[in-house]
Structure 1
Amino acid sequence: MSEAKFKQIAQTIISRIVEGHYPPNSKLPPHRVLADELNTTPVTVAKAYKLLAEQNRVESFVGRGTFVCGESRLSQAIHVSEDESEFNFSILQPCLSYNIMALQDAFQKAAGHITPQLIGYAEYSGHQQHRQVGVQWAAQYGLSGGTTQNTLLTDGAQNALSLLIEALTKPGDTIAVESLTYPGILAIASLMRREVVGVEMDEHGMIPEALQQALQTARPKLVIVIPSHQNPTGINMPPERRESIARIIRDSQTWLIEDDIYGFLNPEPVPAICNWIPEQGFHVTSLSKAISPALRCGFIKVPESQISTINAHIRAGIWLSSPFNYEVAAELMSSGQAFELAKQQQLLAQQRQQIVREILQTETSSQQGYHVWLRLPQHWPQERFVLEASKRHLMVSSGSYFAVRQPTDHIRLSLMSINSEQRLREGLHQLKALMETNMTTEFPFQV
């Protein structure tokens, strides 16, 4: 076969990926099957697969086959733009227009607290009064046992996840996550060359029996769970399930990272998984989702045996997070505004969940969460839907970015980054109209 033949086949496969015939994380046909379909040879198909692997479009595994890449890049999963004509349903953040006045006031008051000690270097991961902010915040939403000694400061939760994965694992180690998970975790694992295994979920979150099996077969060094308003499914893990997960972790040689940044959205505090396994669990939270991502205030409650190790990683990586930002957080905490802002966002999220149910005529897995995990109609491949939505300035997140080597027919809709209810309703009505459109007749695909 000519050299152009395998390139032509590679382009055919790319077109099928874009059209949704081969969804992200799905397995491609064996060489001989595709060769028979395209009237070529298995050798030519193998060359096409090799070319696609070099372009990072597919991944091949000995004995398992070739899979479409999951595309876990954050820049594709989460769209950040200052274009006011866009309806940004892709990014999870608080409805910031409600928090501006409180933040302005807190920044002004914090500026009056500036001393040489505040703006200089500090031991550990920051000043004691700022670590106390993390203790109070996490305790309010279900964590027990936090102190200013075992609570460390980071530049937000993403920084916390990154440094914990680096500190607790090494290249080639396996990390167990929920089968649908936050793409930031997948991005960190990919950059650090850690393997990821997905653990099956049900309506209550990660399934204990599936975790037990993963621990026995994949032997992960680390398990990461998002128990509250799980990203992307919106599932809220009940206390009984949390205790079951903790019991399985306790009987293993594995660390747990509990990514609990949405715990403040629970109507009543729910016990943290780490409460049952304080010497094996790392509890991560932050102020980004309740107050502002720009504060970069993240907190880790660390097992006593690991405090010096994690402190060393923080010091080597960033030395310390901005004390001034934490002074702002302390001001919000001491005035009580931090919890008032969190409550306001919780109530707003409830209202917006109701708006989604009203307009899209669908049930949602959460009554309080910032987002909806939305199943698309059968006639809409998710990648194609995301493409057509973006042409209409509707930015949504494909479910493929959250899947650990398993296909999904969902998209994730953030409900909070659009500041006005009127704009939210307008965007949802446009999404509904697009979902009801017959993709095949209205939008014939052009390669």
Structure 2
Amino acid sequence: MTNWLPNLDSRSGPLYLRIADDAESAIKSGVLPHGTKLPPQRDLAYDVGVTIGTISRAYALLRERGLVTGEVGRGTYVQSDDRSGAPIAQDRVTMSYGGTRAIVPPPGKLRFDTTAAIDVGQAEIVGRIMTEIASAHPGEISSYTRTLSPDWLEAGRQWLSSGTWSPEPGQILPQLGVHAGINAVIAAVSGTGDRIVCEHLTYSQVARSANLMGRQIALVESDADGIVPEDFERVCAREHPKAAFIMSSGQNPTLSTLPLSRRREIVDIARKHNVWLIEDYLYGGMIGDDIPLLAEIAPDRTFLLNGLSKSVAAGVRGGWVACPPHMSQRIRITQKMVSGGLPFLLAELSARLVLSGAAFQIRKDVLSEITARETIVRNLFAGHEFRSHPKLPFFWLKLQEPWLSGTFKQAALDADVLIDDEDEFKPARSSRVFHHVRIGFSEGRDRSISTEGLKKVRRILDQSPLGTSAIL
């Protein structure tokens, strides 16, 4: 056991928070090595001159941050690897980088772990536009991109618009897709060690990217309607995050959509605690609901992102971000630093797809096919609990006893179908278990092949884990 005492004079805020923050600094600097037993709460309360309740709240916060572990009667210890007792690297306290998908997927499998835009013949359109660009702009293709064409910004304005609202063109920047744009925003508004708020289930690639940049993840509770404002308030007050990553409509993987009342509450809380909002509208743009965006309610602190990958062409990697006033230049510089810069061909191709109307027509065709496949899902999985949407290319399936998410994923793999278990969407280490899997159905141009894959999944679902090998 250590005789460590927190230095409270160098920090501000509530006592329990100052104690927790100082302990975190001591853990990261090595003053409190992994495996160290922290002082008993009663002893530390006496030495610091505070109540036991204050120390208890500080220790609880350290546990929430994944920095310590404790058992009644044993004490509180700096987190270590449960399997070997060896020190655990700080990045593993939050999340491993790789996720649960194989880097190189097994050949010959149906890809129900993807939600990329369905092939509706868009390659011909893309090829024609690329030929036109190469003919008209040979110099730009052979050089670096140093200016932003007004057409690129106008295309972004059109693609980011929702209902009667549109962002200002001067606040828009083209991106190497939505994911890259989110990375640029996180890098621009936060520093090493800062916290980014994510739901317990979300597009976890954002969290893994943030980890690589030295950021940490603060988890917030959500329900069927999305983020719970009361818990968002708690996280902001206790963890002091710099930004919150939010999928306001068509959340991945749960398909939740934040009601307007919650959006207003979240904005008020973000303003109160000076938290930036990163609004991923990639799936929301496909739904096209009439609920005002967070960016519409709070343009002063919301970064709005949307792109082409789910509804037009994932291989194009086109996207845009609308920034709060006076932040576009900062994001542009950060984007160059973290990505190496924007290719002229990508930006011009994305803009021409939108401004010619081709992107909107392709999206219409993609959504039509999604609707047809989602109808098949509803018919095939009738009698089971799941969430789906006629304009989204995946569904969130609840598993019945005794199925576990991981074992169901393996059973599907044995049947030559790749799906995602719930761990793929956990942005940080968590003991929460949801017993769900996400199943995409956008792979392939042939609807009948997709249907056969869904039938396989349904047959697995109706069986016991012990009996799957006999039916595959």
Normalising by the smaller structure, the TM-score range is 0.7 to 0.9
1:94 to 104, 108, 117: 117
Q: What amino acid maps onto 1:437 in structure 2?
A: Q
Structure 1 residue 329 displacement after superposition: 2.1
Residue in 1 aligned with 2:160?
138
Partners of 1:442 and 1:268 in 2: CA distance: 40
Residue in 2 aligned with 1:64?
none
Deviates more, 1:94-103 or 1:150-159: 94-103
TM-score normalised to structure 2 length: 0.76
2:448 to 386, 411, 422: 422
Deviates more, 1:336-345 or 1:306-315: 306-315
Q: Which runs of 4+ in 1 moved over 4 A?
A: 29-33, 52-56, 69-72, 78-82, 140-143, 441-444
Partners of 1:249 and 1:157 in 2: CA distance: 22
1:304 to 325, 337, 353: 325
Residue in 1 aligned with 2:271?
250
Q: What amino acid maps onto 2:318 in structure 1?
A: C
- The number of residues matched between the two structures is 398
Residue in 1 aligned with 2:342?
321
Q: What amino acid maps onto 1:414 in structure 2?
A: G
Residue in 2 aligned with 1:279?
300
Q: Secondary structure at the match of 2:326?
A: helix
Contact 2:306 2:320 in 1 (8 A): yes
Residue in 1 aligned with 2:466?
440
Residue in 2 aligned with 1:154?
175
Partners of 1:440 and 1:48 in 2: CA distance: 31
Partners of 1:72 and 1:375 in 2: CA distance: 26
Partners of 1:319 and 1:193 in 2: CA distance: 19
2:186 to 146, 165, 168: 165
Residue in 2 aligned with 1:344?
365
Structure 1 residue 207 displacement after superposition: 1.6
Partners of 2:421 and 2:145 in 1: CA distance: 42
Deviates more, 1:361-370 or 1:279-288: 361-370
Alignment of 1:58-207 (within 5 A): 73-74=98-99, 76-77=100-101, 81=105, 83=107, 85-117=108-140, 119-123=142-146, 126-139=148-161, 144-147=166-169, 149-207=170-228
Deviations 1:76-134 (A, max 9, x none): 24776483x3111101211024422322332233333224246533335x323212211
Partners of 1:310 and 1:181 in 2: CA distance: 24
Residue in 2 aligned with 1:49?
82
Q: Secondary structure at the match of 1:96?
A: coil
Alignment of 1:209-248 (within 5 A): 209-248=230-269
Structure 1 residue 59 displacement after superposition: 6.1
Q: What amino acid maps onto 2:146 in structure 1?
A: E
Shift of the 30–170 alpha-carbon distance from structure 1 to 2, 3 Å rule, reads closer
Structure 1 residue 233 displacement after superposition: 0.6
5+ residue gaps, structure 1, are 1-24, 36-41, 61-68
Q: Secondary structure at the match of 2:410?
A: helix
Alignment of 1:6-21 (within 5 A): none
Q: What amino acid maps onto 1:184 in structure 2?
A: Q
Residue in 2 aligned with 1:5?
none
Deviations 1:130-158 (A, max 9, x none): 122111111256753331x2111221111
Partners of 1:439 and 1:319 in 2: CA distance: 47
Identity rate of aligned residues, in percent? 22
Q: Is 1:378 matched with 2:401? A: yes
Q: Secondary structure at the match of 1:411?
A: strand
Q: What amino acid maps onto 2:136 in structure 1?
A: H
Shift of the 180–72 alpha-carbon distance from structure 1 to 2, 3 Å rule, reads farther
Shift of the 121–360 alpha-carbon distance from structure 1 to 2, 3 Å rule, reads same
Q: What amino acid maps onto 1:257 in structure 2?
A: I
Shift of the 442–94 alpha-carbon distance from structure 1 to 2, 3 Å rule, reads closer
Partners of 2:336 and 2:464 in 1: CA distance: 55
Deviations 1:247-271 (A, max 9, x none): 3222321111101111331244542
Partners of 1:48 and 1:244 in 2: CA distance: 39
Q: What amino acid maps onto 2:98 in structure 1?
A: R
Partners of 2:234 and 2:80 in 1: CA distance: 36
Deviations 1:376-428 (A, max 9, x none): 11111111111222122110101012134222211111111233211111111
Residue in 2 aligned with 1:412?
438
- Superposed CA RMSD: 3.3
Structure 1 residue 373 displacement after superposition: 1.0
1:353 to 355, 374, 380: 374
Structure 1 residue 181 displacement after superposition: 0.7
1:396 to 412, 419, 442: 419
Contact 1:223 1:257 in 2 (8 A): yes
Residue in 2 aligned with 1:266?
287
Residue in 1 aligned with 2:10?
none
Q: What amino acid maps onto 2:201 in structure 1?
A: L
Contact 1:141 1:264 in 2 (8 A): no
Shift of the 397–271 alpha-carbon distance from structure 1 to 2, 3 Å rule, reads same
5+ residue gaps, structure 2, are 1-64
Structure 1 residue 443 displacement after superposition: 6.1
Partners of 2:433 and 2:125 in 1: CA distance: 43
Q: What amino acid maps onto 1:132 in structure 2?
A: E
Q: What amino acid maps onto 1:51 in structure 2?
A: S
Contact 1:235 1:365 in 2 (8 A): no
Partners of 1:47 and 1:95 in 2: CA distance: 44
Bigger RCO (CA 8 Å, 6+ sep): 1
Partners of 1:332 and 1:346 in 2: CA distance: 17
Contact 2:304 2:321 in 1 (8 A): yes
Q: What amino acid maps onto 2:82 in structure 1?
A: Y
Deviates more, 1:191-200 or 1:137-146: 137-146
Partners of 1:142 and 1:355 in 2: CA distance: 33
Q: Secondary structure at the match of 1:374?
A: strand
Partners of 1:118 and 1:243 in 2: CA distance: 44
